[in-house]
Amino acid sequence: MSATYERRSAQRKLAYFGIILVLLTLTILWRGIISLPNLFAEKTILAQAERLEMREIDQGETELSGSAIRLLLTGSRGLAVCSLWVAAQEKQKRHEWNELELLVKSITKLQPHFVTPWLFQSWNISYNVSVESDRLNDMYFYIGRGIELLAEGERVNRNNPDLRYWVAFTYQNKFGVSDKVDTLRCLYQLSCIPPDERDPKKLVDEKGEINLRAFEQFCQKNPQLVRRLRESKVACLTPEEVIEFLRDNRKVPSRYQDATTLAKTGDQFPVLPPAFVPGGEDEQKPNEPISDSGSDAFLAARAWYRYSLLPLPDPDPEPSATPERAPPGKRIPRKPMLILFRQGAARTQSYYAERLQAEGWFDETGWIVDDRIIGRNRWFPDSTVILGSGTKWSKVAWERAHEMWYQHGRSNGLLLTPEQVENYRNDARLLLDMGLVKSMEENTPTLTADQLADPALARAADSHRKLMYLRQNLGVTNFTYFLYNAEAEKDDITIRGRKLFFDADRLASRYADEAKAIASYREAFDLWKRVFVTYPQYHRDERSDQSQDWVYERQLKYEKLLKSEYGSTARNAVAYARNLLQQATATVLPLNGLTSPYLLEARDARLQERQSLPLTGPLEGLAPDGQPWVKDGVKETVKLRFNSSQPRPAVPGDALSPVQDPQNPNPPPK
Domain region containing 22? 2-52
pLDDT score of 56: 61
Domains in the chain, number: 2
In a domain? residue 658: no
CB count in 10 Å sphere of residue 416: 19
Query: Which pLDDT tens digit goes with each residue over 292-337?
Result: 999 999 999 999 999 999 999 999 999 998 888 888 888 999 989 9
For residues 224 and 241, give the distance between their C-alpha atoms in angstroms, rounded to a whole number: 16
Q: Does 377 or 74 have the greater pLDDT score?
A: 377
In a domain? residue 495: yes
In a domain? residue 440: no
For residues 166 and 121, give the distance between their C-alpha atoms in angstroms, rounded to a whole number: 12
Query: Which pLDDT tens digit goes with each residue over 463-498?
Result: 999 999 999 999 999 999 999 999 999 999 999 999
pLDDT score of 246: 96
In a domain? residue 579: yes
Does residue 357 carry a pLDDT above 70?
Answer: yes
In a domain? residue 619: yes
Query: Which pLDDT tens digit goes with each residue over 42-54?
Result: 677 777 766 666 6
pLDDT band at 647, cuts 50/70/90?
low
Does residue 579 carry a pLDDT above 80?
Answer: no
pLDDT score of 107: 85
pLDDT score of 80: 84
pLDDT score of 33: 65
In a domain? residue 518: yes
Average pLDDT of the chain to the nearest whole number: 84
Query: Which residues, at least 6 apart from 629, have a Cβ–Cβ distance to it below 8 Å?
Result: 529, 532, 548, 619, 620, 621, 622, 623
In a domain? residue 603: yes
In a domain? residue 539: yes
Burial group, residue 587, by CB count within 10 angstroms (0-12, 13-18, 19+): exposed
pLDDT score of 54: 62
Q: Tell me which of 211-220, 271-280, 512-521 is least confident.
A: 271-280
67 alpha carbon, distance to own chain's centre? 37
Cis peptide before 278 (omega within 30 of 0): yes
Query: Which pLDDT tens digit goes with each residue over 519-569?
Result: 999 999 999 999 999 999 888 877 778 889 999 999 999 999 888 877 654
Query: Which residues, at least 6 apart from 240, have a Cβ–Cβ distance to it below 8 Å?
Result: 210
SS3 608: helix
Q: Tell me which of 66-75, 127-136, 260-269, 587-596 is least confident.
A: 587-596
Query: Which pLDDT tens digit goes with each residue over 102-157?
Result: 888 888 888 888 888 899 889 999 998 998 888 999 999 999 999 999 999 999 99
pLDDT band at 281, cuts 50/70/90?
confident
Q: How much of the chain exceeds pLDDT 90, in percent?
A: 54
pLDDT score of 591: 37
Residue 207 C-beta-side C-alpha neighbours within 13 Å? 3
Buried b or exposed e, range 78-104, using 16+ CB within 10 angstroms: eeebeebbebbeebbeeeebeebbebb
Whole-model pTM? 0.83
